[in-house]
A = this chain, B = another copy of it.
Amino acid sequence: MINRLIEKIQKTGAPVVAGLDPMLSYVPEHVQKAAYAEYGETLRGAAEAVWQFNKEIVDHIWDLIPAVKPQIAMYEQFGVEGMEAYKKTVDYCKSKGLIVIGDVKRGDIGSTSAAYAVGHLGKVRVGSRVYAGFDEDFATVNPYLGSDGIKPFIQVCKEEKKGLFILVKTSNPSSGEFQDRLVDGKPLYELVGEKVAEWGADHCGDTYSYIGAVVGATYPEQGKALRRVMPKSFILVPGYGAQGGKGKDLVHFFNEDGLGAIVNSSRGIIAAYKQEAYAAYGEEHFGEASRAAVEDMIADIRGALEAAL
């Protein structure tokens, strides 16, 4: 899957992920109204609104980018019905040829991580048959429990040719509270980065490992350091746009081959129609606004990379 991700990045020229993290407040009123007309103001109605919103956006951007990253929390908040919308979104994006990074941030003790790995990336046995529960291509994973919380995910990735992005240095303001604390003179995130490199070393595609890392766009200096610590790991970089990251801040997340990172924007893409820059499209044409925002983001990052490399 890491080979396929690279191939798609090269084909589109866009190391860009669209984060499908729909808050109901992002969903235009006409989409919400139509969903509530069919299912009422219920969890099912909300799930339908979110799904129709996603579908319209995906229909407008699928050809521009290699991957999407649905944030499962935004679906989980609507309970079982929300999870159905998540699954529909995953399946639809895959049907459009997009690689799906499930932003699930799971992680637990060994046997429990194994269940998460099976549910999101692998197949579960039921009697004499096997099924894929959510079936994303990549998943994000939390490292706090150490190797035996990670290895069951790696095992499933090996079997299914899928991949991981392990949280190393997250994009939020308080990420330093634990992640930046010094251990033997090194910040904890660097230790985690070293582990990611170690876990990834034995699990490589043609040029990059399928064990990647999450490092926030909001921390470019740390990104630069971590790029060196994990030379073979792809870095998933959230925090572009709405959270404050810009193209020129991101060049050090990439290797000299122009690869090694993929930058996520969520609100900046899916709620583009609410921004002044794209307001002219109007709420009705929110999909077109998203497409324009993706094009601008690609140009920003491509421009920064061309200037730097």
Contact = CB atoms under 8 A, between A and B. Distances in A.
Interface of A: 21, 23-24, 32, 36, 41-43, 45-46, 71, 73-74, 76-80, 82-84, 87, 105-113, 115-116, 118-120, 124-129, 131-134, 142-149, 167, 170-179, 181-184, 188, 191-192, 195, 238
A147 B174 contact: yes
Given A41-B127, A127-B41, A174-B148, A79 B87 contact: yes
B77 A84 contact: no
A213 to B, nearest CB: 13
Contact of A79 (B106, B134, B174, B177): B134
User: Copies of this chain, how many?
Assistant: 2
B119 A82 contact: yes
Nearest to A84: B80
Given A73-B112, A108-B105, A174-B146, A129 B41 contact: yes
A76 B126 contact: no
Contact of A177 (B107, B134, B146): B146
A74 B112 contact: yes
A80 B87 contact: yes
A181 B159 CA distance: 32
A265 B116 CA distance: 20
Ranked nearest first, the 3 interchain pairs of A and B with the lowest CB-CB distance are A79-B133, A146-B177, A146-B174
Given A115-B77, A178-B188, A110 B172 contact: yes
Contact of A175 (B73, B146, B167, B177): B146
19 contacts: A71-B112, A73-B116, A76-B120, A77-B133, A78-B119, A78-B131, A79-B119, A80-B83, A80-B84, A105-B106, A105-B142, A143-B144, A144-B170, A146-B179, A149-B174, A178-B191, A181-B191, A182-B183, A183-B188
A112 B179 CA distance: 19
